[in-house]
Amino acid sequence: MPNTFTYPSEVYFDELDGLGFLHHTRYLIHLERAQQKFFEQLLGVPDFDADRDEDIYVVVHGLDARFRVPLSKPGVILVDYQIVKIRSGGVTMDFTIRAPEGKTVYCTGTRTLCKLSAETHRPVPWTDAFRAAMEAF
């Protein structure tokens, strides 16, 4: 997939629910982990540090998830992100959570983030450098 960020995430046995499936809330944890690594790549930094990188101070503004096939085994999954729309202080990304072999898709959806000021907790624009990195991606 062109312009796709892919993150391998490990699913552990203790994330499965009483039916033996990955609990629906755990998909969001794997999305968060992938988003962290995606933003680190865009920023060109080795870690997540909001004191250093103001563009990682974000909240989820919207989330739409469709669960396609139950995940019933621990192991590696792949989380794909594609940037759909960049706004002044927001970004909308499509995501897919899938098996490494590529045929089985567990979850798809859209996630919108809003950048906030760490001082006021109000929406603010992306820095020029980060916006340029998203646009180049």
Residue pLDDT, tens place only, 64-77:
999 999 999 999 99
What does the alpha-carbon distance between residue 66 and residue 60 come to, in Å, rounded to a whole number?
A: 17
Q: Which residue has the tokens 């990195």?
A: 133
pLDDT of residue 26: 95
5-136: CATH topology: Thiol Ester Dehydrase; Chain A (3.10.129)
pLDDT of residue 49: 87
Tell me which residues of the chain have a pLDDT lower than 50: 1
Query: Contact at 8 Å (CB) between 90 and 113?
Result: yes
Question: For the chain, first and last CA: distance in Å?
Answer: 13
Is residue 71 left, alpha or beta, with left meaning phi > 0 and alpha meaning psi from -120 to 50? beta
What ranges in the chain are assigned the alpha helix state H?
A: 24-43, 128-136
Q: Where are the beta strands (DSSP E) in the chain?
A: 5-11, 58-67, 75-86, 90-98, 105-115
